[in-house]
Amino acid sequence: MTNEAEAQQRIDQLRRELEQHNRLYYIDAAPEISDREYDTLLQTLEDLEKQFPMFESANSPTRRVGGAPLGSFENVKHSVPMMSLSNTYSKEELVEFDVRIRKLIPEAVFDYILEPKIDGVAISLRYENGELVRAVTRGDGAIGDDVTSNVRTIKSIPLRLSDLMPPAVLEVRGEIYMDTAGFAKLNADRQDAGMEPFANPRNACAGSLKMLDSREVASRPLDAIFYATGELSGIKFETHEQMLLSLKNYGLRITPKYWLNDKIDDVLERLDELENMRHEFPFEMDGGVIKVNDRRLYDDLGYTAKSPRWAVAYKYEPEQAETRLHTISIQVGRTGVLTPVAELEPVQLAGTTVKRATLHNEDEIRRKDIKIGDRVIIEKAGEIIPAVVKVVTEKRTGEELDFSMPTACPVCGSEVEKREGEVALRCINLQCPAQVKNWLTHFASRGAMDINGLGESLVEQLVDGGLVKTPAELYALQKVEVLGLERMGEKSADNLIKGLEDSKNRPFEKVLFGLGIRHVGKGAASILASEFKNIDALMAADIQTLEEIHDIGPIVGKSVVEYFQAPETREIIRQLRAAGVNFEQTETGGSNELEGLTFVLTGSMESMTRDEAGDKIKARGGKVSGSVSKKTSYLVAGEAAGSKLTKAEKLGVTILNEEQLIALLGSDEDLTDKKAGQMGFEF
């Protein structure tokens, strides 16, 4: 295609098609094309934009992956202030809220609308003639930060409105959040990569939005819901419900559930119903928002200095427990990070017994004024990680003790340091037994080398006995050496030696993950293995090359380069290679029969592990996800399947048992869809 007019026409057409498919996928949950077809359209657009750079657009779907890092965020004044809502935890105060409104507008007939209160980060998007031109955080309500480049990476947010005749100006306000399943996976990946987990989804979301490199933001599981407007030109909404439905029509995601009620008593009942649904939403929900539905009454009702009089937020009490903090221990992680942990008097919380809670770092301990011996309030941050919320200072006896982080590693006694830009202390001794033990345990774990028989207790004995200091030394172990260890008989020793031998043939991506490179979780390891094919090519890669790889970026790239530049790393690689460990990406010999299908695995299986099942699915072209959504093709439910099964049933996802999965996969030698066809599966 050489004609510029034709090129521009085709580019515009592709952009409209891709935005429509984004809407069908993310907003309507009714995709019309496969992921592969979408990727083909996107690649076609990207090629045309490179060929005709004069038609580039900041709102092109090709910009979803992010751009060059920013130096800082620009301050922007809101055209209409972003006010906050008044909060209450009392239903009695909601009744008083209703009484005040009816006194202000005694003749009016109106109803209330109730929506979930999303615990995210407030955002304002400005569309001009349908095009997204700016995204600004709340800030102080008058001035916020321009985070447009980061918001453009969120795939559910339209870069241009789907209506053919959009208003001249539409400012929408809402909440950017990190979905709970994505947050759990992000934290697991961070811990796998030796990084400190986020305390809760909101903190992770806020931190993501303020990253200067939008390519990193693109890898975070961010989403958004919109529920209000700012400046409007060329459009008017008479009711809040009409506004919500119009936003949805424009391609903007709105709350998945809301209620209309003409009496406050009905609102109170719906609040109880909403609370019972809080675990069904993909976002953290900490209450409900009650608004007068008729927007024409807003001017009559007016505003206080900080909030509107026609709306109020009702917050649910978080489930908390009070207990005593006996002492603070220090954990030394695989990368040497020293993490303070509260050792608690056991207490029941959210259905589990909690004995320990993370304190994150010394700054957090100082901020909350936590002392040893304090009575403390704990809750599950994001209902995932137990955390100390606050100290019950009125119960102090004067015998409580201040806490200070150690000046030396509590395990090996070596010097600790704080790196520039980090709050964490690190042990600088790479041979620290705690680091070595965590490293070896990680290396042998199921997601990495999956070494049969090598668990935490055996790792403890191997390190304490001076038998092993690096993963490479595992492969030099002799049966006679391990026979003398505790609980190590002939059969166990044989199993360990065989497990080590079997692990040499693990896929390259699992070896990479097992190496424990900082910031390199399972996903990044898979991408790197696919991109570079062997360890030599990866070791030779520079930061620029790594940064340009989708979903890698500068942080991971820098970490990879620094890791392989270290002489001790190169020596370990040499030893592992000499031992026969696989450092090359090999062809699976599989098929593409499951291409376009996404599987979620839950519960325990008899004939294989979930990782093994996932590998078989991927070998046949399928995808494996950790969370259930409307785009999930099949949920494979093993024994003791939990909440994922419940969610899949509600979403109408096809459920497979283990036998059905085996039939669907066929044999490893001869992959056909015969059995799948016999069972009624269609592709």
Question: For every residue of 337-399, which 3-state class applies, written as one string?
Answer: EEEEEEEEEEEEECCEEEEEEECCCHHHHHHHCCCECCEEEEEEECCCEEEEEEECHHHCCCC
β-strand pairing of 337-349 with 425-427:
antiparallel
Q: What is the pLDDT of residue 35?
A: 65
Q: What is the pLDDT of residue 117?
A: 94
Tokens at 45, concatenated = 């657009």
Cα–Cα separations (whole angstroms), residue 391 to 49, 112, 318, 363: 57, 38, 16, 15
- Residue 520 CA to residue 287 CA, distance in Å, equals 36
- Residue 347 CA to residue 388 CA, distance in Å, equals 13
Q: What is the pLDDT of residue 474?
A: 95
Cα–Cα separations (whole angstroms), residue 506 to 215, 256, 511: 30, 43, 7
Q: What is the mean pLDDT of the chain?
A: 85
Q: How many CB atoms lie within 10 A of CB 456?
A: 13
| Domain membership of residue 650 as a residue range | 598-678
Share of residues in the chain with pLDDT > 90 (%): 44
Residue 588 has pLDDT above 70, yes or no: no
Residue 673 has pLDDT above 60, yes or no: no
Residue 244 has pLDDT above 50, yes or no: yes
Q: What is the pLDDT of residue 602?
A: 85
Residue 29 has pLDDT above 70, yes or no: no
Residue with the bigger pLDDT between 281 and 190: it is 281
Q: How confident is the model at residue 610 (pLDDT cuts 50, 70, 90)?
A: confident
Residue 61 has pLDDT above 50, yes or no: yes
Residue 392 has pLDDT above 70, yes or no: yes
Whether 77 is covered by a domain: the verdict is no
Whether 638 is covered by a domain: the verdict is yes
* Residue 487 and residue 615 in one domain: no
- Could you tell me which of 29, 36, 56, 58 has the C-alpha nearest to residue 45? 56
* Residue 420 and residue 444 in one domain: no
* Residue 8 and residue 38 in one domain: yes
Determine the angle formed by the axes of helices 522-532 and 180-192, rounding to 10 degrees. 70
* Residue 339 and residue 362 in one domain: yes
Whether 625 is covered by a domain: the verdict is yes
CATH number at residue 666: 3.40.50.10190
Residue 272 has pLDDT above 60, yes or no: yes
* Residue 309 and residue 167 in one domain: yes
Residues in the chain: 683
Whether 107 is covered by a domain: the verdict is yes
* Residue 446 and residue 420 in one domain: no
Q: How many domains does the chain have?
A: 5
Residue 400 has pLDDT above 50, yes or no: yes
Give the end of a domain, one of 296, 315, 334: 315
Give the end of a domain, one of 266, 299, 315: 315
Q: What is the pLDDT of residue 675?
A: 32
Residue 386 has pLDDT above 90, yes or no: no
Judged by average pLDDT, the poorest of 60-64, 107-111, 295-299, 497-501 is: 60-64
Q: What is the pLDDT of residue 384?
A: 58
At a CB cut-off of 8 Å and minimum separation 6, what does 678 contact? Answer: 663
Residue 520's Cβ-count burial label (10 Å; 0-12, 13-18, 19+) is buried
Tens digits of residue pLDDT in 611-670? 778 878 877 878 777 678 888 899 998 876 766 887 888 888 999 988 889 888 875 544
* C-alpha angle 25-26-30 in degrees, rounded to nearest 5: 35
Q: How confident is the model at residue 677 (pLDDT cuts 50, 70, 90)?
A: very low
* Residue 136 and residue 278 in one domain: yes
- Give yes or no for a contact between 78 and 256, defined as CB atoms under 8 angstroms apart: no
At a CB cut-off of 8 Å and minimum separation 6, what does 420 contact? Answer: none
Q: What is the pLDDT of residue 92?
A: 93
- Give yes or no for a contact between 599 and 620, defined as CB atoms under 8 angstroms apart: no
Q: How confident is the model at residue 261 (pLDDT cuts 50, 70, 90)?
A: very high
- Residue 465 CA to residue 447 CA, distance in Å, equals 26
Residue 683 has pLDDT above 70, yes or no: no
Q: What is the pLDDT of residue 174?
A: 96
CATH number at residue 382: 2.40.50.140
Q: How confident is the model at residue 38 (pLDDT cuts 50, 70, 90)?
A: confident
Query: What average pLDDT does the segment 605-610 reach?
Result: 79
Q: What is the pLDDT of residue 1?
A: 54
Whether 73 is covered by a domain: the verdict is no
- Give yes or no for a contact between 601 and 638, defined as CB atoms under 8 angstroms apart: yes
Tens digits of residue pLDDT in 168-226? 999 999 999 998 888 888 877 776 666 667 777 888 898 888 887 788 888 889 999 99
Tokens at 83, concatenated = 């006010």
CATH number at residue 124: 3.30.470.30
Residue 671 has pLDDT above 80, yes or no: no
Query: What average pLDDT does the segment 118-122 reach?
Result: 91
- Residue 342 CA to residue 434 CA, distance in Å, equals 19
* Residue 105 and residue 50 in one domain: no
Tens digits of residue pLDDT in 544-561? 899 888 668 788 888 899
> Catalytic residue at 117?
yes
Judged by average pLDDT, the poorest of 336-345, 479-488, 493-502, 614-623 is: 614-623
Whether 192 is covered by a domain: the verdict is no
What's the pTM?
0.57
Q: What is the pLDDT of residue 669?
A: 44
Q: What is the pLDDT of residue 549?
A: 81
Could you give phi then psi for residue 170, rounded to 5 degrees?
-135, 110
CATH number at residue 559: 1.10.150.20
Q: Which helix (H) or strand (E) holds 643?
A: helix 643-651
Tokens at 597, concatenated = 């299908």
Q: Which position among 91, 117, 155, 315 bears the catalytic label?
A: 117
Question: How many CA atoms, within 13 angstroms, populate the side-chain half-sphere of residue 653?
Answer: 28
* Residue 106 and residue 126 in one domain: yes
Query: What average pLDDT does the segment 418-433 reach?
Result: 83
Q: What is the pLDDT of residue 151?
A: 93
* Residue 277 and residue 164 in one domain: yes
Give the end of a domain, one of 380, 400, 425: 425
**Amino acid (1-letter code) at residue 465:** G
* Residue 304 and residue 181 in one domain: yes
Residue 125 has pLDDT above 90, yes or no: yes
CATH number at residue 25: 1.10.287.610
Share of residues in the chain with pLDDT > 70 (%): 91
Tens digits of residue pLDDT in 129-170? 999 999 999 988 888 899 999 999 998 999 999 877 899 999
Residue with the bigger pLDDT between 676 and 541: it is 541
Whether 584 is covered by a domain: the verdict is no
- Residue 442 CA to residue 456 CA, distance in Å, equals 9
Whether 546 is covered by a domain: the verdict is yes
Q: What is the pLDDT of residue 444?
A: 93
To which residue do tokens 């080590």 refer? Answer: 500
- Residue 120 CA to residue 240 CA, distance in Å, equals 21
* Residue 395 and residue 446 in one domain: no
